[in-house]
Amino acid sequence: MGKVSDFYSNKCAFVTGASGFVGVALIEKLLRVCPQISCILILLRPKRGQDVEQRFETFRKHPVFEKLLQQRPQALHCIKIVTGDICEPGLGLSAADSKLVTDHAEIVFHSAASLDFEASLAATVESNYLGSQRVLELAAQCKKLKVFVHVSSSFANSFRLDCQEQMYDLFMPSEEVLRLVRELSPAELEKRT
């Protein structure tokens, strides 16, 4: 085993955005390279008329898992669904699911986000800013937390021709954006953005 797989051995990860492009790739890689990972808790919400079990069934059938499942048919058995939504207070978790995450998660991967460029600023702030804040708050309660990883969209600085791995100044402090979203009507907000 290599150092990466040693680190994940017998550990539990909590993943948001598991059904998205990055989330699916991350989970496949974890299962393939770190077969001794004890569990992966994935946050799923009902969406487009599907409940979380139906969404998990779709997730399980993703083509990225085909080769892995040919080699290790039981590979996905360590995945457990946690029903919730980053747009809800407390991630919308039941008391039991919140306890499951805070008692067991040692690694948190937050990759959930809205990439809907047509969404209102209020909806985007709700999911991408406040959602991230809620995941971080839950992670802070995790008794065994070793690592918190936030995966951001490649569109975060898409207006830049050359984007380096560094923190860039914001056009407006995030607190000011949040204040405007809370205080202005949707029409006023649309005018200002």
CATH number of the CATH domain containing 50: 3.40.50.720
**Domain ranges, residue 29:** 3-154
Domain presence at residue 65: yes
Which tokens sit at 68? Answer: 């892995």
DSSP 64-91: GGHHHHHH-TTGGGGEEEEE--TTSGGG
Q: Whole-prediction pTM value? A: 0.89
pLDDT tens digits, one per residue of 46-77: 998 889 999 999 999 999 999 999 999 999 99
pLDDT tens digits, one per residue of 105-139: 999 999 998 888 788 888 888 999 999 999 999 99
Q: How many domains does the chain have?
A: 1
Beta bridge partners of 80: 41
30, 37 in Cβ contact below 8 A?
A: yes
3-state secondary structure of 40: strand
Domain presence at residue 176: no
Nearest to 97 by CA among 82, 76, 79, 115: 82
